Each structure stands twice: as structure tokens, then as C-alpha cells.
Structure 1
Amino acid sequence: MLNIADTLHRWCREARPFALATVVDVTGSAPLPIGTSVAVDADGNAVGSISGGCVEAAVYELCRQVLRDRGAPQRAWFGYSDDDAFAVGLTCGGELDVLVRRIDPATEPHLGAALDDIVQGRPTAVAQVVDGRHDLLGRMVCVLADGTASYGTLDGGPTDRAVTAQAGALLRSGRTARVELGGDADTCPDRLSVLVHVAATRPRLMIFGAVDFAAALSQAGRFLGYGVTVCDARPVFATEARFPHADEVVVDWPHRYLEHTEVDARTAVCVLTHDAKFDIPLLRLALDLPVGYVGAMGSRRTHEQRLRLLREQGMSDGLIDRLHSPIGLDLGAHTPEETAVSIVAEIIASTNLGSGLPLSRRTGPIHRAMPPSPGAADALPTLEGTAARV
């Protein structure tokens, strides 16, 4: 849904009814992740994509049908078929579970309010019931960054509290995901599957050391959607003119700046100075913070000296093991630009638990996805003719 938030926001402001088709489960090598949506309004205008093109026509027709019928949500399953791969199936070999429901902004003002928060850049989660009680299917609860339910309701009781708690946790981690709830009378009496769409602030890439490698790395980080900070204690090097792609350039001692700035599990810390008087106080602090990645540049000799100094200052092996040093993947990089690619490649692999190996040397699906939820396919009527199975 977040992939088309701007258009949905405009349609809600115009009180324009539309059908929303959302990928609620993915199996195998599907082209786009869960939470991706297509929307179609009553005039036939469409926005978004859920498959890169191979099932769009069938989804479009289903959206038109749901709009005309004004009925309950529908579910469609799309998978690979040798006989029909180029008609409805996914030629990439994956499987998509798609939920389609009609939305009338006049009767669901909470969605428009949440979309307003999202387009304004405020961290927001939209929790959508995608499996469970039929009267709750497709219903949404919207949650702000502080974890409070801001718009919408499901049962006005324990179900709302359970969904809000899960949505708040995912919002803090910056991750869109499908979660299973219920079966406990005290917390959530009904078994539900909830897809939480998360619009979070940008993750942070913190680069310490205003060197040539930092200029290339800040550009790569900006391209990947990070909020980039370059920090160095030397004002002659830490200038905005040298780092035009950074969101901020800070002149301060690295460890002092890090101590007083906000970080979270999506923050990546890259130490490029390979100077012990900067590195050691900074790494002692960074490795003890709840950040997602800590890497340090330097030769293997510098790395061994760095480990010795950290241990001499009482740092445990458990914390030291979090350090990616020498920084980056082995790409044979030489230039600052090539080195930046090797560093962001390692950050991506670390974030997504990737192996860093060439895909040609791995087996199994290329795209990792959450396994299908038990019984999810039976929760809603399936559109006849759209299920193409192996």
C-alpha cells in the first residue's frame, strides 16, 4: 500500500471509492514483497503494480468486479504454470496471495488520516487484517510512532490492544511484515493474521572520517535511501562542499557525537579513519549500542591492533564479534567508489541475513520470503480461473 500512498491520499481527500489489491503472502521467487498494492477507482484509473506486469490484467479485472459488486473482500492466488505462464502465471516461479477489498473513504476516514501522516513523513503503521474473522477482513488500525492507536478500531478491546502492540513493535524496527495473533482470551480472543504496513523514517548511515572513501560511501548510502551523516573532528575536512550527498556534516569528536545522537536497530556505523585515537573510543561505544551494523576500515594489521586495544580496555569478545573489520565484502575493490559498493553490499547482506555469495553458487529461491500462513488460502473466496498451479 505504501508504494501508492500519494495517490491513495489524493483519492481519500476527494472521497473517491476504490478497490485496493494487496500482496498479503509471497512464496518463492516473487518479484515484489508483501504489502505491495494496486488500486483501481470507479472510473477505471489504476495505480501501482504487484508483479512487474505478469498478473496485472487479472488483478485489474478483479478490482473492477469488487467495486461493482460492493461485496465482501476477495482473495486471488497467482502461481507459476508452464501452460499459462505468460497469461496469468508468474514466470519468475513465485506465488502471490492477493487480497482485494473495496474502500470508501467517506466511511473509513481513519485511512485518509493515516495516509496524511504518511505523506507528511510521520512514522506510521497501518495494520490490516488479512485472515481470520470475516467481519474483520480488510479492516485497518493505524498506529503512530509512539505506539498509540490513532485511527480505526477492530473490537474496541483486547484485539485492538494486541494489534496495536505488534504494529508498534514493527514500526520501531522499520519493517513491514505479516504477523499471527490470537487464541488467547486475555490478549486476542480470535485468531487473526495481520499485515502491518510500516512507513518509518529513513534508516541512518553514520560515516566517521571525512576521507575520500566517505564521499563515495555517502553517495551510495543516499542512493539506497539512508539518511547520511558524515562526522569528523577536523573542520578543514568535514565540509558540506566535500560531501554534497550527505544529509548532515558534523564537526565533532566521533565518540562524543555518537553518544548524543539517536540510533536504532536500522542504523549502520562505518568507521573510516583507521586512527586509534578516533577509532577506539568510537568503537567501544558503537559496539555497545543497539545499532544494526558496525564496520571499520583498515588493513589486517590495523585490525589486529584494533582488537588488541579494545580487549585491553575491557571489551568482551561477544561485543567485539559484532565488528565487521576489515570493512566490506571481497569484491576486489580499489577505487573509493568500488570500496563504497563493497561496504554497502556488506551492510545489505548483514541487514537481510544474506550470505554474500554469488547467486550462481547458492541453491533455493533467489528471493527469501515468509512461508505461507496455514489456512490462509481458505479464508476468502478464490477468484475462479486465476489460480495457476504447478
Structure 2
Amino acid sequence: MSGTGPIEEELAALPLVDHHCHGVVTGDVTTRRFESLITEGEVWPGMSPFDSPVGVAVRRYCAPLLDLPRHAPAEDYLARRAELGAAEVNRRFLSAAGTEVFCVDTGYAPDGLTTPGELAGAAGGGAVAHEVVRLESVAEAVGVAGVEPDEYAETFRAAAWEAVGRPGVVAVKSVAAYRTGFDLDPARPTAEEVTAAARRWSATGGGRLDDPVLVRHLLWTAVELGLPLQLHTGFGDNDIRLHRADPTHLTDWLHLTAGTVPVLLLHCWPYQRQAAYLSAVFEQVYFDVGLTLHYVGPGRARAVLAEAMEITPFRKLLYSSDAYGVAEFFPLGALAFRQGLAGLLRERVDADELSLPDALRIAQWAGRENALRVYRFSDDT
């Protein structure tokens, strides 16, 4: 971390709570596979994701952790990665992140990814991992198993309760932003509406859950479960219609669900200002800027965080990496967060807009304490 002041020192030493992330690959990866994992797009002919802000950041900040010089060429980087092997690469990157608690979304976990326990084990140092249940995966498992339309609502509800009853589960998540967007009727659907929608869905084979009524039912079921609800917001792959992933579409639903469960908006770019607004006017809303930080790189993290924190109550911003697939995104996200927030807070202290004690408290809250307050982890965390 650049700088040696007390804010930089506080953030550099702070054990982070990464409140939303995924597993990483446990086997060696080809060049094309690695490139596909560092982009939300595709690997297009004649172009490499290494020639993008995130690819440059990987070579600049992650190469030294593989005993390579900064800005090592992509071919050298991948050769060294293969030489060390996946287990050693994962150990180096996860331990370098300085993360003590991981909340792991297990809803998209193809073969070859670490389990939450394996992720924490690679990080070492007593790190612990908890599970986040993706509700669309629960619903789709119900559909695949076969269910009569008039029994769908209760069968899904029972399956969701069973899933959140597993040891270590601390939250649920929805990817409604991918499936329908947020511009939905905010009202709880009636039993008749759910049955009719389940009949339509069943007629298509009960695969991908993208019926607006069933997505609404899923969100209202999440409220009944009583756990914090994570919602993917904004930036993602081209399956998203970005204008429909603006979290302000949730405004009426947030009014209807006030006083129920914490709602955590993930990633948010380019809607970090909209997420900040919602966190300022709804008690239950919290947010992060997640994978945005490693995609823009440490050099631009401060600018994104500055927009995110313009009007945000300081107890509402959390840290997440949203790392997936490659372990590089854990230290890269953590570094971008630490450096970006330190620079922003230092600037405000230097301008006498914040006292140093206030800045240190904000750093602790955003990197750790806010998540501990929302998720209420067990005493072994």
C-alpha cells in the first residue's frame, strides 16, 4: 500500500470481511480458460483480456506474488502460474488478501471450484468461510425434480428453508438482475398467480427461472427466510440488460419490505450513486462496489469509492471482492479497496473534512465491522 500514514497502516493491517465471493479453480488452467475467467465478456479473436484494465492490474500487482517482476508479460505470468500449480497459486493469493471471513456464494459452482472450507483453508491464518445460498438454484432444483404447479410455492418454500438450515449459512442471494431485471411489480404475487406462472414454467421444462411472477415470489420468500438478502446489481456479463439492473427500480419493493431483512446491493457499477441514495433513505439497505474495484484496478478504485461514499451513511458500505474462478481477484480486490479507501479518507483528513479518529473508524467499519453487524456471525468468526 502506498503511503505510510496511520490510515494506510490501519487499512493494511485490517483483517477484512469479504461478504460476497465465490470459489476458485483447483486445477491448472489453459491460457484461454484463464483469460475467460478474468473478463465478464468473452475471449474474442485477435484480442486478449490481458490487454484491459483488469489484465494490466493482474500483471502489475499479482505478478510479484508469483516471484515475477511487475508487469511481467502474459506468457511469462501464465507459465509461472502453471509451474507453481493451482494449490500453491491459490495459497499465495488467498493468504495475501488479508481476509479473515469469506461469505461464499455456492449457487454457481461448476466442478473444479473450491468449497467454502477449502477457500478458507487456502487463506490460512484462522480464516473462516460461511455460505450464501442462491435462491434461483434452489428453485431450479425444485423444477428439475418435477413439481405440480399448485404445489410449487410450498415445495420451493420448504426447499429454501432446508437450504438455509445447513450449518454455516449466513445469507441468501438472488440474481433477479440477470433473469428479469428489477423493474417488476413490487407486490407479493397471489397464490393463483404463482400457480399459473409455475404451470407456464413447467411447460418449458422447468429450467432457468426467469418468469417475472416466480422471481417476485422468490424475493418475497427471501424476506420470509429472515436472513440478509444479497442482490446482484449493475455490472455483469452480457446476459444482463444493464438498464434494468438499476437498483432504484426496487424502490417500491423496499417500501413494502421495510422492517424485515437487510438488503445488500452487490457490485452496483455504474449505479453506485443510486445504491448510495437507497442506503441513505432506507434503513435496511447496504451496498458494496465489489468486483468493480478489481476491474477498474487500484488506480481508479478511489474514484469509484468517492462516488459511492458521497452521501452514504458510513455504517452502510461493506467490502466484497466478488472474486470468482481465479484466486488473483482476492488480493487484487483487497488491495484496490485498501488503497482506494485510504487515499479517499486521507484526502478528507488533509482537507479537515474528517478528523483522523473518524477516518480510522470509517476504515474499520467499511472493511470489517459493518459486515459483522449485518450478518451476526457465530462466535467462532
Q: TM-score range by the shorter chain?
A: under 0.3
Higher helix share: 2
- Say which one has the larger Rg: 1
Structure with higher strand content: 1
Q: TM-score, normalised by structure 2?
A: 0.28
Q: Which has the higher contact order (CA 8 A, sep 6+)?
A: 2
